[in-house]
């Protein structure tokens, strides 16, 4: 049985390898990632994970795994930091407060069964100074990332509290992913 990762993210691939699930191939899902009107963060993350998995062609004997990590403050879904201006606004919003990193995973088994799980991780940032925000934005690592930061990099020094799945904040909740792969009949190496 072959494993397909519905993502070109090197982080998601590396996370899968850590649990003995090396993808045989990676494919980029082409979906619209805009939230639906009135869509709540949890439903949004689960929908995107399902849509990403479903957007990738699956041959006989292949299992598809996909993930989505959404950063939310209350009911508000934060966008990826596509520009440094957006990233500054996101970091200013997250400064000194708790937020949720909702990391959904979807596995489509060889029989077509769709299984999903979600990890809800609470992360609290320290109060960030303007100089800290500037320095982080200048380093470039949070650009394009959900919420404007990468917890596996320099932003980890901003975290004063975390409760939940660290790997989920990085991009794929390993506990949940492992459980779904095993339920789908995949043998971890």
90-149 residue pLDDT tens: 999 999 999 999 999 999 999 999 999 999 999 999 999 999 999 999 999 999 999 999
pLDDT for res 189: 78
CB 115 within 8 A of CB 182: no
Q: What is the mean pLDDT of residues 71-78?
A: 96
Question: 156-184: string of b/e by CB count within 10 Å (b at 16+)?
Answer: eebeeebebbbbbbbbbbbebbbebbeeb
The answer, yes or no, to whether residue 183 has pLDDT greater than 90, is: yes
Contacts of 121 (CB under 8 A, 6+ apart): 100, 101, 102, 103, 162, 163, 164, 165, 166, 168, 169
Identify which of 146, 128, 142, 166 has the alpha carbon closest to the alpha carbon of residue 73: 146
Contacts of 188 (CB under 8 A, 6+ apart): 19, 20, 21, 178, 181, 182
40-62 residue pLDDT tens: 999 999 999 999 999 999 999 99
pLDDT for res 99: 98
pLDDT for res 80: 93
User: pLDDT-derived band of residue 35, with 50, 70 and 90 as boundaries?
Assistant: very high
Residues marked as catalytic = 68
The answer, yes or no, to whether residue 36 has pLDDT greater than 90, is: yes
Options 3.90.950.10, 3.40.50.720, 3.40.50.300, 3.40.630.10; CATH of 2-183: 3.90.950.10
CB 125 within 8 A of CB 97: yes
Its pTM stands at 0.94
Return d(Cα 9, Cα 20) in angstroms, integer: 17
């Amino acid at each position: 049985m072959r494993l397909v990762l519905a993502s070109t993210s090197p982080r998601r691939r590396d996370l899968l390898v850590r649990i003995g699930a090396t993808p045989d191939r990676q494919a980029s899902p082409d979906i619209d990632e805009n939230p639906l009107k009135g869509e709540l963060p949890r439903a949004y993350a689960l929908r995107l994970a399902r849509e990403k998995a479903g957007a990738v062609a699956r041959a006989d004997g292949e299992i598809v795994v996909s993930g989505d990590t959404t950063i939310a403050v209350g009911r508000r879904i934060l966008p990826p930091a596509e520009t440094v201006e957006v990233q500054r606004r996101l970091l200013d919003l997250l400064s000194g407060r708790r937020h949720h990193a909702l990391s959904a995973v979807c596995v489509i088994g060889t029989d077509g069964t769709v299984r999903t799980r979600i990890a809800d991780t609470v992360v609290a940032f320290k109060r960030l100074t303007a100089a800290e925000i500037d320095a982080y934005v200048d380093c470039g690592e949070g650009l394009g990332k959900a919420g404007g930061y990468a917890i596996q990099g320099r932003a980890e020094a901003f975290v004063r509290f975390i409760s939940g799945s660290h790997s989920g904040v990085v991009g794929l909740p390993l506990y949940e992913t492992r459980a779904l792969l095993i339920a789908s009949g995949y043998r971890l190496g």
